[in-house]
Structure 1
Amino acid sequence: MNTRPIPTRTLGVVAYGANDLRITDIAVRDPAADEAVIKIAYGGVCGSDLHYWTHGAAGESVLREPMVLGHEVSGTVLVPAADGSGPRTGDPVTVHPATPGNDGRTHYPADRPNLSPAGTYLGSAARVPHCDGAFARLVTMPTRMLRLLPTNFDLRTAALIEPASVAWHAVSRAGDVRGKRALVIGAGPIGALIVAALRSAGAGEIIAVDLHQHALDVATKLGATRTLRADQADAIAEAQADVALESSGSHRGLASAIRGAARGGRIVMVGLLPSGDQPVPMSLAITRELELVGSFRFNDEIDEVIAALGAGRLDIDAVITHEFDVEETLTAFETARDASTSSKVLLRF
């Protein structure tokens, strides 16, 4: 049994409501036998974190109580699990933030637990009580959520593994992309990582589209062979892409993906659109026999991403544009909100 003393308090990033984000003292939860205490090194600011800060909600998930943010993290094991499961003291780890859950009545494929109806995700207000995230210097979490990293793996890069897994899953939903022309609508952090994943998967041509030149420059560094501004409607329509991946999360982006896809092509919808009906040219999707498929989070792709990074088959560091100490979280969030000058913003814990 582990007898190492566990700190009872730590510093965390907590959303209390719209425009009420606090860097404050929080409790370190006592670990169960199958839980470890992790010393967080880096955390990546996600769009959902920004929404909880600015709107007090991310889509349908509304803050009803204070919640620790963050699900893109890396760190080392401070106190291992008492039952002997999982990594040992000092081991470098990243985190799979999802816990699948079945409500007993909703049908979904057993091999796609990301679609389970009663699942939870770190830093999500989808359920009450909310599922606290991992933006804290010390975090207690089940060993089943931990992924051991190779020795001397860069923990800065490791903070990108979760969003890179989202991108990897999206590319897998596109099918075999080897030698094909791919169109990526939206070159923010997820879109840029999709570009990197497409490059790793052997795409022949990768066209990135965005409103901001800064995002297009990042996409180029990660493997885009050509870039277009989002207002170049004719050029986008002429792309004739075998696969189009929409990561802007806007109906205009989805419309561009439909127009830019070749007849018989596939469109992967990654960006989460607002609730309700969306005005997009579905007649084109019908007459061109386009395949529209959704892509939501990821499953075991996180293990494939770790392997690809370790083998040098995936290069994603260029998506990181800024780093801030946790005490500067508000500045970090302000920076991350400005897509014209930033891509992935990291917090140092």
Structure 2
Amino acid sequence: MSGAVAATLFGPEDLRLVGYEPGPLAPGMVRIRLGAGGICGSDLHYFRHARTGDFVVTSPLVLGHEIAGEVIATGGAVPDLAVGERVAINPSRWCGRCSYCQLGRANLCENIYFMGSASKTPHMQGGFASTFDVTPAQCVKVPGETPFAAAALAEPLAVALHAVARAGDVRGKDVVLFGAGPIGLLTMLAARLKGCASVAVADIAAAPLAFASRLGADQVINLGAGDEAAEARFDAAFEISGTGAGLAAALRSARRGGVVVQVGNLAGGSIPVPANAVMSKELDLRGTFRFGAEFQEAVELIAGGQIDVLQLVTAERKLAAAPEAFRLALDRSQSVKVVLTGD
């Protein structure tokens, strides 16, 4: 054996380090050695329940889609990529041919495969592995001085940038975010970057709210302690917690004519929400799914120092300690973003 391992999910809370021998590299593909990978909220949903939203794990799945690493081999001539270069990996593999790709909305691609996701069968394996193979189009080069952990967080930053873009022009507007996890915190930073006037952050837990304050939130709202977001005050409200209660609160908090963006992946099935608010306040309720061109923007913002994503990293663990790292990431009192690193 080569000593290569992959963090593979077999069922709820059944994450194993599985050894493997990397096979031949297919023509036109690129082999990456893992530098770092962030554990995402959807990874944690998979870990706990073997599903996230409507995506159900039906066969062993290598997790991980927030990833960066080093090019160690190319399958023939691959323009603009060389062995030894550092790259952030876009986990989306779009077809480029369907109507959505042609319209510039590749995140809605009819034939998309997404690393570490059970959205398609067979599942597309993720990047929490010693090595993994991607297409050249998935590789975005980063400067040699950019830490792997920072480059890996281009993916969640891209999610946040796309969410803010879905809200429209937020310059000079008051914004509220429901959910102070990593995506919520990055959405706060993205909204700041795009010129919003103020940002309030709501959550049910004190520790992530304290973290949001340190990162510059104008107001924190502890829903777990009985605080409530002001009704009909905010120009844009983002539901990021992935809960029906969060979506209901976002609908209540948005002013008349405001925008509500659903970022969080709600539990599968139907969820009751006060939907009449969409009618009576003439709200724009918008979905946001992953990202498109924002991935390139995210890499540039990180490499250029405009957004310091490493502020969110509270722990790093080796890939070989993935099960322990996942349990740590589940403890919101102890962690914000846990990053796995290559051995």
- 2:244 counterpart residue number: 251
Q: CA–CA distance in 1 between the matches of 2:301 and 2:214?
A: 18
1:25 and 2:19 equivalent? yes
Contact map agreement 2:6 2:62 (CA 8 A) in 1: yes
Q: 1:270 to 1:91 in 2, by over 3 A?
A: same
Q: CA–CA distance in 2 between the matches of 1:211 and 1:81?
A: 49
Aligned residue for 2:208, secondary structure, equals: helix
Q: CA–CA distance in 1 between the matches of 2:152 and 2:97?
A: 31
Cα shift at 1:275: 2.5
TM-score with structure 1 length normalisation? 0.92
Q: Superposed, which structure 2 residues align to 1:212-251 within 5 Å?
A: 212-231=205-224, 235-238=228-231, 240-251=233-244
Cα shift at 1:276: 2.5
- 2:61 counterpart residue number: 67
Aligned residue for 2:229, secondary structure, equals: helix
Q: Superposed, which structure 2 residues align to 1:188-203 within 5 Å?
A: 188-203=181-196
Contact map agreement 2:198 2:218 (CA 8 A) in 1: yes
- Matched to 2:16, the amino acid is R
Contact map agreement 2:203 2:222 (CA 8 A) in 1: yes
1:94 and 2:54 equivalent? no
Q: CA–CA distance in 1 between the matches of 2:225 and 2:165?
A: 28
- 2:35 counterpart residue number: 41
Spell out, residue by residue over 1:75-102, the C-alpha distance to the aligned partner (whole angstroms, 9 max, x if none).
1111234223342111110111112248
- 1:151 counterpart residue number: 144
- 1:3 counterpart residue number: none
TM-score with structure 2 length normalisation? 0.93
Contact map agreement 2:204 2:225 (CA 8 A) in 1: no
Cα shift at 1:22: 0.6
After the TM superposition, which of the residue ranges 306-315 and 282-291 deviates more from structure 2? 306-315
Cα shift at 1:128: 2.2
Gapped runs of 5+ residues in structure 1? 1-6
Q: 1:109 to 1:284 in 2, by over 3 A?
A: farther
Q: Select which of 250, 254, 259 maps to 1:261.
A: 254
Contact map agreement 1:161 1:305 (CA 8 A) in 2: yes
Q: Select which of 311, 314, 319 maps to 1:318.
A: 311
Q: CA–CA distance in 2 between the matches of 1:286 and 1:147?
A: 42
Contact map agreement 2:90 2:138 (CA 8 A) in 1: yes
Aligned residue for 1:243, secondary structure, equals: strand
Identity over the aligned pairs, expressed in percent? 36
Q: Select which of 200, 204, 207 maps to 1:207.
A: 200
- Matched to 1:27, the amino acid is E
Q: Please, what is the CA RMSD of the aligned residues?
A: 2.1
Q: CA–CA distance in 1 between the matches of 2:192 and 2:163?
A: 13
Spell out, residue by residue over 1:255-282, the C-alpha distance to the aligned partner (whole angstroms, 9 max, x if none).
1111111111101110011222221111
Q: 1:279 to 1:150 in 2, by over 3 A?
A: same
Q: 1:238 to 1:64 in 2, by over 3 A?
A: closer
Contact map agreement 1:193 1:222 (CA 8 A) in 2: no
Gapped runs of 5+ residues in structure 2? none
Contact map agreement 2:260 2:283 (CA 8 A) in 1: yes
Q: CA–CA distance in 2 between the matches of 1:56 and 1:314?
A: 33
